[in-house]
Amino acid sequence: MANLILVRHGQSIYNLENRFTGSLDIGLTKFGIQEAELTGKKLMNIRFDFGYTSTLKRAQESLRIILEEIHQTNIKVIESKALNERNYGSLQGLNKDETISKYGLKQVEIWRRSYAIRPPDGESLEDTYNRTIPYYKQEIEPKLKGNKNVLIVAHGNSLRALVMYLENISQVKILHLNIPTGVQRQYFFDENLKILEVKYL
């Protein structure tokens, strides 16, 4: 029975500063490091075969800390832009409260949570889905079918896309899904990749 664990990276400096981060390469805060360490403690009893992460250091650092915590630094780690956070375009680096003051809460929530609407010059969740899910199907599903345990440490929106695919969440309901930093979801599959159980760690 294959295991898939999805983990959002620990708190980044821009998370702390309440800024849109997107594709900007921002590191972890001390609290973010602690979140990754705590995640490792929760995953101590799972033996992983592969680790996947994005090309952004907040996810890479979180994965490294987790693997150090569980003493599994020898597993194969694959980095891919397909797992990167969505690009928030001209909103990147801006304070979220100031952006709400300028554009209104309703508009900002549409940019942040909707499926198909892009922020100015940026990616929608649909765009993120269309690069993340083909990669997942091609690269990761075969590992799970081979009964391998896989750890993915990525970002709020690339993980929202994955959860949307795995749990068959509609474009309407995905609006309400938020994945906080340091949060883990564990999936158990049968040999046909039917989900047997989902745990929130």
Q: Which two tokens stand for residue 160?
A: 């929202």
Neighbours of 114 (CB within 10 A): 17
Q: Are 88 and 21 in contact (CB under 8 A)?
A: yes
Catalytic residue, from 35, 85, 123, 155: name it. 85
Distance between CA atoms of 29 and 10, rounded to whole angstroms?
Answer: 8
Our answer to whether residue 85 is catalytic in this structure is yes
Our answer to whether residue 155 is catalytic in this structure is no
Q: Is 58 exposed, middle or buried (0-12, 13-18, 19+ CB in 10 A)?
A: buried
Catalytic residue, from 9, 69, 123, 155: name it. 9
Strands 2-8 and 184-189, how do they pair?
antiparallel
Q: Which two tokens stand for residue 120?
A: 């100015």
Write out the catalytic residue numbers. Answer: 9, 85
